[in-house]
Structure 1
């Protein structure tokens, strides 16, 4: 009866953890999650994941509406600091969002592609 227990404890079985490792993020993306890069424009131009959507952190509140609500959202930045706050902001707005721990460096180490 895990469904009953989850409801009783008010746990959402579809909820994502607050942060994920890069290998977990790659798995989520393979399953249809959306990758959002919240770094600034100059950081984005220096290299980014080709499938990422660029939404600078300062524009997240207004541009989040461009993100699908029916898919998980993985948020990345350079180190994982800004993405944690951005993922929390998206969760508060009703998105299923998680932060990529370790940022772009962890992404690269896990074999995630980067383009300019």
Structure 2
């Protein structure tokens, strides 16, 4: 991550303060420009006793220290979010993203398949021996989901099952025992794998 700040002052009739903040993170580049019109500057030396007026924004009446403080707080808050929310690349707990082959291997080794689609979707076709627990009911039916077995979570495309995986992680299930079938039933059927109705 890098942060560069350019400060440009012009001492004329306009007295314009231009902040350009460039912030680059792993996946995005954020470019923020902030322009603030200043009233005027009066400088004083501490020993002369002359009065000094702080530079103020004529629009919001906030001084430079306020905006610098706000910038620092914003950066600190942004840094805190990945540490608490990101689960894939930050080294914190994360579920396994399974390919079809990996999911088959887990299933052959005795993993429980949990299909988090709605019952009518489940009835149209599902992985053999899968258990149907819709995503909306999962938090109330955790007693049906063992913590001592590997779990293969599946839905239509992998979206709902990834939410189910995060829910199970939050409930204390071991991250290395939770697998989300990438591509869901769409990919499973596209590769000609067996289904039950």
How far 1:64 moved relative to its partner? 1.9
Task: Name the residue aligned to 2:194.
Answer: 113
Superposition RMSD on alpha carbons, in Å? Answer: 2.0
Task: Name the residue aligned to 2:107.
Answer: 29
How far 1:106 moved relative to its partner? 1.5
Q: Which runs of 4+ in 1 moved over 4 A?
A: none
Richer in helix (by share): 1
CA distance in 2, matches of 1:111, 1:26: 13
Q: Aligned pair count?
A: 104
For 1:6-54, what per-residue CA distance to the aligned partner results, in whole angstroms no more than 9, with x for missing partners? xxxxx89xx8743111111010111111110000011011111121000
Task: Name the residue aligned to 2:125.
Answer: 47
Q: Go from structure 1 to structure 2 and tell me whether the alpha carbon gap of 1:17 and 1:59 turns closer, same or farther (over 3 Å shift).
A: closer
Task: Name the residue aligned to 1:102.
Answer: 183
Richer in strand (by share): 2
CA distance in 1, matches of 2:105, 2:191: 11
SS of residue in 2 equivalent to 1:62: coil
Q: Go from structure 1 to structure 2 and tell me whether the alpha carbon gap of 1:79 and 1:30 turns closer, same or farther (over 3 Å shift).
A: same
Name the TM-score, length of structure 2 as normaliser: 0.49
CA distance in 2, matches of 1:76, 1:113: 14
Q: Which runs of 5+ in 1 are unaligned?
A: 1-10
